Chains A and B, each alone.
Chain A
């Protein structure tokens, strides 16, 4: 039986709540299921003390979760849109990320901040952003961006058990996607990328919803005789450069694709590392596919005009292999 991204996230939360009494969910509307229904039914099953609604106080609830994590809970905090993580940024950057370090290893923050990002259907400038690169800039944070329902399930379970603060970025365009959870699937390791499709002519490095676009692009270019390998990074910190490098040493051509703008993005980081470490392996310039440098617009025609998609990846792959 296939399940949606939302259902598999819920299943992961449900299972972890059952397994570990330290796990608690909190956030705006989570007891009522949350804005997207991810936590629906969990308060009924696990009790209102473990699945708790909060006021609209992103700064304080991030701090609350962090303080609780210092004292033996494993909080899973939902920040409804990554756009509102701005209000929790002080805590995430200055407290959660640094507590283990500042305390010389005496304390830890085993906390997951679940949030969702990305553009879908006219949510416009303040509900559509992809802000992950802000967080990869902060030592101490782990940043996870799952690309499929099954990936989301495994990575969320791993994140909850990890012991370090994790920003877990879901993508609203993936929420309705369906997949069957294979029996006895080993949980993915945090920090290990995945080869989503093997190929030999070009490596497309991507994550989150753009993995789907990259797989579509790989299908299209296959018809033109080009074999694209698609790497799903899964985690943006840590970056699994080993898996990336192994692929690049095979293909010698690189396209990096993400929905976020290119400026200062994850792709810039990867490109810089590849240029520094594998310069001699590259047979073509590294190209990046990303959002045009504008706020996400409202009207569908405008939204389409700035967002990157399958066609952009196809063009980038063709150029890299030309």
Chain B
């Protein structure tokens, strides 16, 4: 620290490799959890873990994917131990409905319906997707990752990223326009999770 006249090498490393990405981690945690206090906790835990494991980080380029992986593990652990289980989505039904719509529907109404959704509703529906799909969609469409960056961050083959992104968007599309009645339930369960966390 400065009162010793210098920063320790670990602190310098931390400032260079981790600190620039904390805001990004907050963004992911906020979207994944929907709760500020919980997001803060999870980012904080991730930063502590990063501090402890800093030796394992090989390069500056690897630091963001490495941190995101740590955060996603924290989020998954929290889900497993603390949070309510995610309700299962009827994925096959939603996809079938999607393909039928693609084959028959005139363009226009869908786009308008999607554009008209509120931020809160879109974010909440995104959290209803299975994690494997949601995280790929979030990293790409919310955070501007390229396919290759997602593959690297999640340690997945490029083909898997490609198909999960497309399928995730299709599922979200299905929820956005075809399941309006589920939205009330989402708000309520979100609140429950917040209280559970307190």
Report whether chain A binds chain B.
no
